[in-house]
């Protein structure tokens, strides 16, 4: 789960990490309520789960109330990488002397945490790492909960950090490392970590990505997840332990499958064939008749889903259960085009049930055949 920026700052504040303060708004009326609560100039930041906001125009500066309302409304009506901006984070503009980069993340190959630091930061951190790798320190962390002082010192020394900043930098690292561990993070990042004109270190922007498998341990984070999910179908699907993924407003195809790899393959091949998906739903484990019925009810309630592609593949998945779920969903899907691919235990029994449902079902033998059927629009 990826926290939005304002939520990451809330976590930072909880741990006493020097970080930016601000207010969120979803409407112009809420922007009006912010006026007067912060000193101008202010920064208006789009809250979307993607990078590149600045280059896309999702970060604006306002010198007064008029600009706050005008530019705030402008950001709230834009989309960034096909993601609509539903919320903005308004903060004071900070006078910055220097930008740096700091993060803790997982090195999957080494199966250890890793500290990454550069005294150069900002939007161009990837270019900096490629052009001048000596300015980026990457230090694997020994197993355990302790961040040894020599690790932080090494990161500072090898990248040429000003010695006067090292004591405060060490405190930053220790605190961010605690956030990383206690929130079961895959990533805890500050970019930029800034040195202000008055000589303080501050987290100006933050990313916190939490392992989905650990969310049960963090009910407060689950609450954040629900608060930032505007799509009602996402919330409804979550109640059944499904993952509902909105994809494109222009799409007309809904995918129902079991596994993120299968879903991504389906989306990629459908896109290569010149078509768009409006949504996908990952059933997860236990693809039973009851779960199939709930899944089809949810995706069918998306009015843009004119075609539903059911793509089930599993060694122990009972295809007769899937077929009975489709059979029990006829009232939900009667106006939808159905393309069905089943592979697994009791496949022939499942196909026999689906054939008995009438000509509205298009049976295919595999993923590629399913995409061809979607493209050709003919019964197979």
Question: Domain count of the chain?
Answer: 3
pTM for this entry: 0.67
User: Which of 196, 206, 200 has the alpha carbon at shortest distance from 168?
Assistant: 200
DSSP letter at 97? E
- Whether the predicted pLDDT of 126 surpasses 50: yes
Instruction: Write out the two tokens for 373.
Output: 């059927």
Q: What is the pLDDT of residue 123?
A: 65
Of the candidates 189, 294, 321, 362, the residue annotated as catalytic is 189
Domain end, chosen from 38, 73, 92, is at: 92
d(CA 363, CA 259): 20
- Please check whether residues 82 and 120 belong to one and the same domain: no
Mean pLDDT (the chain) is: 91
The phi-psi region of residue 129 (left if phi > 0; otherwise alpha if psi is between -120 and 50; otherwise beta) is alpha
Verify whether residue 343 is a known catalytic residue.
no
150 found inside a domain: yes
- Please check whether residues 80 and 104 belong to one and the same domain: no
Verify whether residue 101 is a known catalytic residue.
yes
Domain end, chosen from 92, 118, 136, is at: 92
Section 159-167 average pLDDT: 95
- Please check whether residues 171 and 125 belong to one and the same domain: yes
- Please check whether residues 265 and 152 belong to one and the same domain: no
d(CA 56, CA 85): 12
Q: What is the pLDDT of residue 226?
A: 62
- Whether the predicted pLDDT of 376 surpasses 90: no
11 found inside a domain: no
Enclosing domain of residue 27 = 21-92
Of the candidates 5, 6, 99, 101, the residue annotated as catalytic is 101
* Model confidence pLDDT, tens digit, residues 245-285: 999 888 999 999 998 889 999 999 999 999 999 999 999 87
- Please check whether residues 149 and 263 belong to one and the same domain: no
42-46 and 137-140: which strand pairing? Answer: unpaired
- 82: domain CATH number is 3.30.1490.20
């Amino acid at each position: 789960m990826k926290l939005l920026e304002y939520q990451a700052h809330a976590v930072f504040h909880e741990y006493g990490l020097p970080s930016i303060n601000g207010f969120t708004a979803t409407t112009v009326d809420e922007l009006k309520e912010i006026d007067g609560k912060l000193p101008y100039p202010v920064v208006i930041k789009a809250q979307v789960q993607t990078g590149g906001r600045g280059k896309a125009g999702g970060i604006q500066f306002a010198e007064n109330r008029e600009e706050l309302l005008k530019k705030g409304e402008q950001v709230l009506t834009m989309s960034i990488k096909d993601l609509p901006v539903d919320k903005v984070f308004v903060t004071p503009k900070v006078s910055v002397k220097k930008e740096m980069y700091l993060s803790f993340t997982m090195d999957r190959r080494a199966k250890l945490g890793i500290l990454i630091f550069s005294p150069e930061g900002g939007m161009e951190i990837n270019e900096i790492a490629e052009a001048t790798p000596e300015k980026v320190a990457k230090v694997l962390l020994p197993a355990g909960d302790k961040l040894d002082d020599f690790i932080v010192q090494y990161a500072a020394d090898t990248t040429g950090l000003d010695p006067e900043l090292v004591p405060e930098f060490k405190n930053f690292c220790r605190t961010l490392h605690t956030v990383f561990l206690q929130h079961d993070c895959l990533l805890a990042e500050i970019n930029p970590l800034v040195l202000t004109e008055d000589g303080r270190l501050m987290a100006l922007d933050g990313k916190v990505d939490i392992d989905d498998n650990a969310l049960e341990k963090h009910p407060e984070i689950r609450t954040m997840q629900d608060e930032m999910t505007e799509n009602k179908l996402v919330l409804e699907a979550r109640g059944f332990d499904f993952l509902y993924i909105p994809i494109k407003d222009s799409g007309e195809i809904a995918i129902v499958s079991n596994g993120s790899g299968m879903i991504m393959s389906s989306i990629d091949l459908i896109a290569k064939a010149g078509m768009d998906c409006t949504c996908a739903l990952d059933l997860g484990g236990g693809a039973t008749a009851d779960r199939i019925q709930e899944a089809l009810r949810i995706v069918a309630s998306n009015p843009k889903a004119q075609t539903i592609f059911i793509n089930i593949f599993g060694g122990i998945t009972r295809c007769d259960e899937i077929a009975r779920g489709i059979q029990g969903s006829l009232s939900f899907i009667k106006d939808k085009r159905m393309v069905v691919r089943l592979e697994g235990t009791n496949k022939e029994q499942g196909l026999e049930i689906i054939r008995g449902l009438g000509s509205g079902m298009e049976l295919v033998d595999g993923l590629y055949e399913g995409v061809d059927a979607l493209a050709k629009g003919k019964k197979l």
